Amino acid sequence: MKIDTNKVVSLSYELRTDGFDSALVEKTQDDHPLEFIYGLGMMIPKFEENLKGKEKGDEFQFKIEASEAYGLSNPENIIELPKATFERDGSIEEGLLVKDNVIAMQDNQGNKFNGRVDKVGDETVTMDFNHPMADKDLYFKGKILDVREATPEELEHGHVHGTGHHH
């Protein structure tokens, strides 16, 4: 069966960002594969496009340009905030405001964001709210482990269900 719309795809992969032989960023194992329903928009569109038509047992290797993956950094997503923003009960937690530390934050409307500490000043903290993979090309290598029809229930729920239980 070929990968196409509404098929459940199970695959293992390795992800790198500086070429196919660069340092490993992420890896799945055959016994804990990535599973998704093809065509529901849950994956990067170019990722799905590169898998279309492949079958169980096929290996793959492809690159996705940064602009078609997680996008390019937006300078408007780098914001300077008053240090007081990070205070809880009048003090700032030890080790919180360290360069490259990722902090879960929330805006006035209750939207949640992860921000990376870029710079800590005397009165302000510069936070980068761009996606951590922004500006990075993605290099995928892997193998298709299985392709099957999605069940009506999986399609209704919009995600893959495991054998005998809900994922």
Q: What is the DSSP string of 56-121?
A: TT-EEEEEE-GGGTT----GGGEEEEEGGGG-BTTBPPTTSS-TT-EEEEE-TT--EEEEEEEEE-
Whole-number pLDDT of residue 163? 56
Whole-number pLDDT of residue 162? 73
Rounded to whole angstroms, the Cα distance separating 51 from 35 reads 13
Whole-number pLDDT of residue 164? 45
Whole-number pLDDT of residue 149? 97
- CATH number of the 75-128 domain: 2.40.10.330
pTM: 0.81
H or E segment at 48? helix 45-51
Q: Which top CATH class is 7-70+134-157?
A: alpha beta
Whole-number pLDDT of residue 4? 97
Written as tens digits, the pLDDT of the chain (167 aa) is: 999 999 999 999 999 999 999 999 999 999 999 999 999 999 999 999 999 999 999 999 999 999 999 999 999 999 999 999 999 998 999 999 999 999 999 888 999 999 999 999 999 999 999 999 999 999 999 999 999 999 999 999 999 987 544 44
- CA–chain centroid gap for 47, Å, is 12
Closest CA to 7 of 72, 45, 54: 54
Q: What is the dihedral of CA 9, 11, 13, 15, to 10 degrees?
A: 20
Rounded to whole angstroms, the Cα distance separating 64 from 50 reads 9
Residue-range domain boundaries for the chain: 7-70+134-157, 75-128
Whole-number pLDDT of residue 167? 46
H or E segment at 137? none
DSSP 151: P
